[in-house]
Amino acid sequence: MLDVQAPDAPLTLCPNSNASSECAHCKVRALSVCSALEAEELAALDKLARHVSFEKHQTIFAQGEASHSVFNITSGSVRLFKLLPDGRRQIVGFALPGDFLGLSLSERNAFSVETLSIASACQFPRAAFSELADAKPHLLRRLYDMAGHELSLAQDQMVILGRRTAEEKVAAFLLGLRKRWARIDGSTVRAPLPMSRQDIGDFLGLTVETVSRMMTKLARDKIIVIVPDGVRLLDLARLEALAET
């Protein structure tokens, strides 16, 4: 998982941040590490939490700075990226509601995180959260499970970047995003795209022109239809065949 720290920009407390047990009523609890905790344990976690909100395109934490906090994304979406020495940007992932950022062994952030939309999160002091996890083996196991899932995604991304054509990369990206959104809203035919095509290109190692051309081709072949907030999948079987090539 990624290094994180308290944001440099001022944070806005969520309107319901004074609720007696915000964690118990969290809409993404079942998707997050918090699902491992019972009600009494959630109350202890809630005491550590600072419920924060962010504007669109706000930096949550920056590459290279000291890591002090961990975050559980509760709404919105964010991009995770690394700036290379020559100034280029490599996007390494996108976080959605339920995703947890933090608890790396490094004391400094390896990446930067910036919101793609208005977003909210639970912010925990890194040291205090680590102590709680150490005292709750079932929470620690859940963290290990999520870390293993992230490793699997990273390995899949290496295959996508190294061994697939542009069309296959875009198809695999859309399928992966659709699967992640389905865990949140239950939809099986839509893939919201809060990120820009430039973001997608920086993630897949493609130019923005190539991403646009591949999306247009998939739409022309009636595999997807492009809608204002993303895409709808018209022919899931054909998209899966492309992604598995």
> How is residue 2 written in tokens?
């990624």
DSSP string for residues in 116-144: SSSEEEEEEEHHHHHHHHHH-HHHHHHHH
CATH number of 164-243: 1.10.10.10
CA distance 169 to 245: 10
What residue has token string 């002091």?
125
Is-same-fold flag (12-149; 164-243)?
Answer: no
Per DSSP bridges, beta strands 112-115 and 59-61 are antiparallel
* 190-220 pLDDT per residue, tens: 899 999 999 999 999 999 999 999 999 999 9
At the top level of CATH, which class does the domain 12-149 belong to? Answer: mainly beta
CB atoms within 10 A of CB 55: 11
Burial class of residue 96, CB neighbours in 10 A (0-12, 13-18, 19+): buried
Q: How far is residue 50's CA from residue 23's CA, in Å, rounded to a whole number?
A: 11
What are the residue boundaries of the structural domains of the chain, listed by start?
12-149, 164-243
Tokens of 59: 């930096």
- Which CB contacts under 8 angstroms, 24+ apart, belong to 36-40? 36/136, 36/138, 36/139, 36/141, 36/142, 37/136, 37/138, 37/139
| Separation CA 79–CA 56 (nearest Å) | 11
pLDDT category, 17, cuts 50, 70, 90?
very low
Q: At 98, list the tokens.
A: 């339920």
According to DSSP, the residues that pair with 79 across neighbouring strands are: 94, 114
Q: Is 168 left (phi over 0), alpha (psi -120 to 50) or beta?
A: alpha
pLDDT score at 114: 96
User: What rounded mean pLDDT belongs to the chain?
Assistant: 82
* Overall pTM surpassing 0.85 (yes/no): no
* Percentage of residues of the chain with pLDDT beyond 90: 43
- Kindly tell me if the per-residue pLDDT of 96 is higher than 70: yes
Least Cα distance to 98 among 218, 182, 5, 195 occurs for 182
For residue 160, the model assigns a pLDDT of 65
Band the pLDDT of 40: cuts 50, 70, 90: confident
pLDDT of residue 47: 85
Name the more confident of 62 and 39.
Answer: 62
Give the model confidence (pLDDT) of 126-166 as tens digits: 888 888 778 877 776 777 676 666 666 666 666 666 678 99
Where is pLDDT greater, at 206 or 26?
Answer: 206
Dihedral angle over CA of 207, 210, 214, 217, nearest 10: 160
**What CA dihedral angle connects 74, 77, 80 and 81, to 10 degrees?**
-160
